[in-house]
Structure 1
Amino acid sequence: MSEENFKSYASKSVLITGADGFIGSHLTELLVKSGANVTALTLYNALGSNGWLDSIPDHIYESVNIYSGDVRDSAQMMRLVDGYDIVFHLAALIGIPYSYEAAHSYVDVNISGTLNLLEAVRKNGTGRFIHTSTSEVYGSAKTKPISESHPIHGQSPYAASKIGADQLAEAYARSHNIPIVIIRPFNAYGPRQSERAVIPTTIRQIFDPQCETVKLGDLSTTRDFNYVSDTVRAFAMIGESNDVNFGTAYNAGSGVETLVSEVVEKLMQISGCKKEIIIENSRIRPEKSEVRALVADSSKLKKITGWKCNVTLDKGVHQTLNWWKSRADNGTIRRNRKFAK
C-alpha cells in the first residue's frame, strides 16, 4: 500500500516514541510522507545522535519535530504527551540476550516507561494510543498459527517485561476508557535492524572482510518474517481504522513459518558467500527460554483493515542485502568497534 492510501493522517498530530529505532524510523518516514505532523521522541544521548532518523532523507528529516528524552522520566512524559491525535509507543529495550543480564533495565523501560506514557495520556488525553507488543509474549507456539487467544508465556525477561506492559495497556483501556490498541508484530526485518536479530547479524558477517566465518546461534527454530514496510503499514492501518476494538491486541504477521536455517541459507546463496557457518554456544538461549516456533494468525487485523504482507521473503531478503551491500561499499558495514572480530 502506498502512502497515498493514508490520507487520513494529513495534518494530524502524531507522536512516535522510539522513532530513532528500526521500526520507529520507518514509521516516521511513512507518516511524514502521508502528511502527518510528526513529533519523534528519541533517546537523549551525549553524542547528539538521533539514531536511524539521522539516515532518513533530508526532506523528510526536516519535517520531523525531534524531541530528545526518556520514557523513564515521568515528569517529562507528562509535559510531552499532551493532546496528540495519535500516539505510537515503540520505545523499548528489545535485545533478548541482554535481558538475561539486565532485567531491571527492561522493567524500568518497558514497564515503568509504558506506565509513564499511559499516565500522561490518562491525564492529558489523546485520540488514540497504539502500544507495541511482540510475538515473543506467546512463547513457543502451542497451536499454529498463533491467534490473539493463544496463551501468553514469558520465556525471557524481555518477553515478561513486554507482557507486563501489554497488561498495563489493556488495564488502562478498561479502567479509564482510553482508546488504546495493542499491535503485536511478528519478526520484522529489513534495513536499519539491529544486529541482535539473525538476518542483519548474518548479512553483516557475510560482507565484513574482517569476519572469516559467520557465527550464529540456534538455526533450528522457526519464525514468521515480515519486511519492515509491511510492518509499518500495519501500524498505520491500525492507527486509522474505525473498527478497532480498544483494549485488545492485533497480530501482524505473514502467516508463513520459515526455518531460521532456511533464511540463513538463502542469504548465503544470494550473496555468493562461501564462509563457514559456526554455531556458537554463547549465541544460544537457555533451553527453556528459547522460543521454538512462531507463526501468526493475523485474520483479526485483516478483517478490520484489509492488511496483508505485500513483500515476499525472497524480495525482502534481496532488498535487505542490497542495503547492507551499499553500507559495505561505503565503508560503514560496522557501526561499532566490537564488531571487528
Structure 2
Amino acid sequence: MRILVTGGAGFIGSEYVRMLLNSPAAVPAEVTVPPPLLEPSLVTVLDKLTYSGNPANLDPVRRDPRLRFVRGDICDPDLVDRVVPGHDVIVHFAAESHVDRSITGAAPFVQTNVVGTQTVLDAALRHETGRFVHVSTDEVYGSVETGSWTETAPLAPNSPYSASKAGSDLLALAYHRTHGMDVVVTRCSNNYGPYQFPEKVVPLFVTNLLDGQPVPLYGDGANVRDWLHVHDHCRGVALVQDKGRAGEVYHIGGGTELTNRELTQRLLDACGAGWERVRPVPDRKGHDRRYSLDITKIGAELGYAPVIDLPTGLAATIRWYRDNRAWWEPLKSHAAL
C-alpha cells in the first residue's frame, strides 16, 4: 500500500506518519496501544513547511526507506499532479488551523483549506486514487449547549477557520456524490500531545509555565472542549482509512470534557505553579462555548475507543516539552510567542 500524507510534517500528520512507519513517538511509555493496522510499502509526505510544519517532526523515521518527503504547496496544481500518481490512498491533513490567525487574516485559510483541498481532490480524481481520507474538525458544527453532535448535525461554523474547513468537508463529500470517488471524512475534537506548535493552548501554557511566564486565559475560562490525544486521533484515522464506508463522516473524540479553567488548573498543578501566573485576556471573537462529539458510530462500526486517558496523556506531554526544549524554544522565539 502506497500512502500520500499531506501536511505530514505538522503536529497530527507527523504522528500519523510515525505511526505508519512503526515509530509512534507521541505514545506515553506507560500505555500499550494496539498494533498498527496498516503496513505501507511507501509513505510520501507532501508539506509546504510553513511556520507550523517542521522537518524535525519526522526525525524518528527519517532513515526508514519507505519514507519519501516532498516539499511543496497543495495549492500548486502542477506539483500535486506530479506527486499523486502511484499512490493507493491520500490522507489529507494539510490545513491552516489556528483560529486566532484566521480572525486577523482569513485569506490563507480559504486558499489552503478550500482551494488546496480542491486541488488535491482534482488530482486524486484524475489519477484514480483508491481512497481519499479528509481530516477535519468538530469546529465545523459551531457551539452546542447540551448533548453531543452526531455526524448528521448541520454545519454552523463561527470562525473563518472553521468555515474554511466546513467548505473543504463539503467539497470532499461532493466529489464522492458527483464522481463516485472513495472519500471518507473524519472530524476530531481538540488534540494535544508532543510536537504541537506552541501557539495552541496546551503547549503554549506548558512552555510558558516551564519558563516562569504567565499564561493567557480567554474570557471567563468556562468554554468547554473534549480532549483527544494525538495518537488516539491517528489510530482513529487509520481505522477509517482501512474500514470506513465511502461517503461517510466519522467522529473521533477523546471522551474527556473540561472547561478551559479546569484544563488550566491541571496544567498549573503539573508544573508546580499557582493562579497568580494566569492572566485573564479579552475573549476571542465568536468564541464557541462548547464542543462535544458523539463517537458512537466509529466505535460501533470500526471498533474505535481512545486508550490514552487525559491524566496519563497530559503528564507525558508535559514531560516531553520539559525534555525537548531544543525543539520548541526556537519556534517560540521565531514566532514571538
The code of the aligned residue for 2:215 comes to V
Matched position secondary structure for 1:245: coil
Aligned length in residues: 318
Does 2:310 match 1:306? no
Does 2:236 match 1:240? no
For 1:248 and 1:191, locate their aligned partners in 2 and report how far apart those are by CA, in whole Å: 30
Deviation at 1:141, TM superposition (A): 1.0
- Alignment partner, residue 67 of structure 2: 64
The code of the aligned residue for 1:335 comes to L
For 2:336 and 2:101, locate their aligned partners in 1 and report how far apart those are by CA, in whole Å: 20
Q: Under a length normalisation based on structure 2, what TM-score does the superposition of the two structures give? A: 0.89
For 1:331 and 1:128, locate their aligned partners in 2 and report how far apart those are by CA, in whole Å: 34
For 1:18 and 1:192, locate their aligned partners in 2 and report how far apart those are by CA, in whole Å: 14
> Alignment partner for residue 333 of structure 2, among 313, 330, 337?
337
For 2:57 and 2:222, locate their aligned partners in 1 and report how far apart those are by CA, in whole Å: 34
For 1:208 and 1:43, locate their aligned partners in 2 and report how far apart those are by CA, in whole Å: 30
Matched position secondary structure for 1:15: strand
Q: How does 1:80-159 map to 2 (within 5 A)?
A: 80-159=83-162
Matched position secondary structure for 1:225: strand
Matched position secondary structure for 1:336: helix
> Alignment partner for residue 47 of structure 2, among 42, 49, 52?
42
The answer to whether the 8 Å contact 2:21/2:61 transfers is no
The answer to whether the 8 Å contact 2:7/2:46 transfers is yes
For 2:47 and 2:153, locate their aligned partners in 1 and report how far apart those are by CA, in whole Å: 33
The code of the aligned residue for 2:324 comes to R
RMSD (Å) for aligned C-alpha atoms: 2.0
Deviation at 1:339, TM superposition (A): 6.3
Deviation at 1:327, TM superposition (A): 2.1
Q: Structure 2: which 5+ residue stretches go unaligned?
A: 23-37
- Alignment partner, residue 34 of structure 2: none
Does 2:239 match 1:250? no
Q: How does 1:195-274 map to 2 (within 5 A)?
A: 195-209=198-212, 211=213, 213-218=214-219, 219-241=221-243, 244-274=244-274
The code of the aligned residue for 2:102 comes to S
For 1:134 and 1:340, locate their aligned partners in 2 and report how far apart those are by CA, in whole Å: 27
For 1:117 and 1:331, locate their aligned partners in 2 and report how far apart those are by CA, in whole Å: 30
For 1:250 and 1:54, locate their aligned partners in 2 and report how far apart those are by CA, in whole Å: 27
Bigger mean CA deviation after superposition, 80-89 or 232-241: 80-89
For 1:132 and 1:332, locate their aligned partners in 2 and report how far apart those are by CA, in whole Å: 25
> Alignment partner for residue 10 of structure 2, among 18, 21, 34?
21
Bigger mean CA deviation after superposition, 194-203 or 122-131: 194-203
Bigger mean CA deviation after superposition, 250-259 or 219-228: 250-259
The code of the aligned residue for 1:273 comes to A
Provide closer, same or farther for how the CA distance between residues 145 and 229 of structure 1 changes in structure 2, counting only shifts above 3 A: same
The answer to whether the 8 Å contact 2:145/2:289 transfers is no
For 1:259 and 1:267, locate their aligned partners in 2 and report how far apart those are by CA, in whole Å: 13
Q: Structure 1: which 5+ residue stretches go unaligned?
A: 1-11
Residues 204-244 of structure 1, C-alpha deviations (whole Å, 9 max, x = no match)? 111124x2x22232421001101111000001111111xx3
Deviation at 1:57, TM superposition (A): 4.6
> Alignment partner for residue 55 of structure 2, among 39, 46, 51?
51
Residues 111-157 of structure 1, C-alpha deviations (whole Å, 9 max, x = no match)? 00000011001110111100011110011015412211222111000
The answer to whether the 8 Å contact 2:198/2:331 transfers is no
The answer to whether the 8 Å contact 1:103/1:157 transfers is yes
Deviation at 1:44, TM superposition (A): 5.2
Provide closer, same or farther for how the CA distance between residues 107 and 339 of structure 1 changes in structure 2, counting only shifts above 3 A: closer
Matched position secondary structure for 1:265: helix
The code of the aligned residue for 2:288 comes to V
Matched position secondary structure for 2:21: helix
- Alignment partner, residue 285 of structure 1: 284
Deviation at 1:58, TM superposition (A): 4.5
Residues 57-94 of structure 1, C-alpha deviations (whole Å, 9 max, x = no match)? 5444x541001110011121112112311110000000
